Amino acid sequence: MGADREGSGRRGPARVGAYAVCGVVLLAGCASMPDSGDLRGVESTPRQDPQVRVFAMPPQEDDPPTDIVQGFLEALTSDEPHYETARKYLTGEAAKNWRPGESTTVLAGGAGTETDHSGSREEANDYSVTLTGTKVATVDAQQSYSPADGPYRESVHLTRDDKSGQWRIDVLPQGVVMGKSDFQRNYMSVNRYYFASDAAVQAEAGTSPQPAAVADPVYVRRRVDPMTQVVRSLISGPTSLLRPVVTSSFPAGTALAKNAGALTPDDHNKLTVPLNDKAAGAGEDQCDEMAAQLLFTLQNLTQAVEEVELRSGGERLCSLTEDRADTVATRGSAQRPDYLYFVDDRHRVVRIASGSNGTRPEPVPGALGEGATALRSVAVSRDEHSAAGIGLDSKSLYVGSLVSGGSLGDPVLVSKGKTEANRLTAPSWDAQGDLWIADRDPDDPRLLLLKGGAGEPVEVRTPGLDGRVQAVRVAADGVRIALIVEKDGKRSLLIGRIQRVDRADRAGETPAVTVLELRSATPELEEVTAMSWAGDSRLVVVGRERGGVQQIGYVQVDGSTPEASVPAALTGVKEIAATEDERLPLVAYSENLIVRLPSGLQWQKVTEGTAPVYPG
């Protein structure tokens, strides 16, 4: 006999309660239980007001094993810090060994259950079920999100206690499992910030380079003291994906003090963070960097923190306000570009002041704005002192300074591709002033780096890359790169980690540059047309699902969907531009026009032109 699969029956009483600010409300219809049939599903709780907290109901006297399993699954969606009620559905030994923080598995519609009658006999004090569903994503022990697919099947075993006669779960998978809507209600994405190991940025001329802050997004439980969760998570160190290319200024072994309790800012929006004695030896500069990591991270969570004070052993280590934090380290989201750039109908590079309502562009200073060389696309360095342009036939790459009177000279790179579509992509500048570009020549497809935008191109290693690069965008943090890659007619957005190996000890050799851990950020899209960085860990993407129409949306670097509102619809988008400073409007090239999207408004015509870009 196999496992039976029958339709879900009538739903019984709910085992999940919701506590609102004004009282207690029993959610009788949002996560209730079936009372008949062997195939059972834990229906995902509808999205609720963020003020509402959900707590589980404990098992009832003489609950049958099917209700024990359903009650346990429902208890996993509660807002209890340590899943206290969920543990009441387990035997003492199982509750002791169960590790809910090991992982979270997200299913499309919640977990169903199949009863195996061949090995499940209530009368014999022995019962087995299989949890089933379709995987959407997983969150690992480091709180790192990864898209997932395929079937989910895990076994659960129950036993009846000889003394009490009550059924309890004694064998179960580690971690927790829940439906997608429950996950969205229970969890939120927060950027933790670390510093790029080899990506210092010169903020202004004449100043010392600053460390570049890198956003490392994680998912934390939304209503389980998220501020303390996030601080503990930050101090514990970066996720494995970024660990090879970032550092933390917190000394090894640093943790919150044992008596720290819940962290909350005071009436002056200052958060005091008590640390253990491992932090006591940090110097002034190191302590400021620790405080900057905390400020950047907490301000991604809430605007209620304007200052951070670090203490250890009752002694004040340092204090940092938000206006000083940007002097300690630089973030892409804190760097506001001066101009928006694009190519006009005379194939020159022109610009409009960023964030303005202007519609009359001016040519950029220098040869790229004079029109002597017709251009198809442009990229402007992040300091806005240099620009790179692709010739009209996509064959040649030119680099020039944005200074009046400067000459353009010969191209710094020429593709041998036989057609425009098989030649050079639009280029992209990183935070160190290096230029990235892909040559789409089918006979020699390459991802290339030009140090300082000049010299002999360095071929970037891309192990694991399956397909041909069609577009390149480097993040402001200097350690992540976004690529549109084409294979078998499908174009996908991949995010990878940039790793540089200094080979200065070997005379005459340039640094080796590799892009590793390439992962899809848009698994649901069949065709990605255009993309741009739109935040420290967010991109805006133009694409379509299989059989769907073109749409514009946001994605996180980890492949999750941020809570930001979806941009207003726009047809015929060929190129899109955004900046890490999320206050600036999106800009697109559509229907032979440059258009922009002011916050909360509809797309507006700017002027004629193509290839809009912000610096980067």
For the purposes of burial, counting CB atoms within 10 Å of the CB of 521, is it exposed (0-12), middle (13-18) or buried (19 or more)? buried
Q: Which pLDDT score, from 0 to 100, does residue 72 have?
A: 98
Q: Is the pLDDT of residue 209 over 90?
A: no
- Provide the pLDDT confidence category of residue 42 given band limits of 50, 70 and 90: very low
Q: How far apart are CA 335 and CA 319, in angstroms?
A: 23
Ranges of beta strands (E only) in 161-186 are: 167-171, 176-179
Q: How far apart are CA 557 and CA 519, in angstroms?
A: 9
pLDDT per residue as tens digits for the range 92-102: 999 999 999 99
pTM score: 0.88
Q: Could you state, in order of their start, the residue ranges of all structural domains in the chain? A: 333-613
Residue 241: how many CB atoms within 10 A of its CB? 21
Residue appearing with tokens 């303005």: 356
pLDDT in tens, 438-475: 999 999 999 999 999 999 999 999 999 999 999 999 99
Mean pLDDT of the chain: 88
Average pLDDT over residues 483-495: 95
Helices (H), 76-142: 84-87, 92-97
Give 111-157 pLDDT, tens digit per residue. Answer: 999 987 555 555 678 999 999 999 999 999 999 999 999 999 999 99
Q: How far is CA 482 from the centre of its chain?
A: 12
Q: What is the mean pLDDT of residues 39-44?
A: 41
Instruction: State the architecture of 333-613 in CATH terms.
Output: 6 Propeller (2.120)
pLDDT of 598-610, one tens digit each?
Answer: 887 899 999 999 9
Handedness of CA 97, 99, 100, 102 (dihedral sign): negative
Amino acid letter for position 393:
D
**What is the Cα gyration radius of the chain?**
27
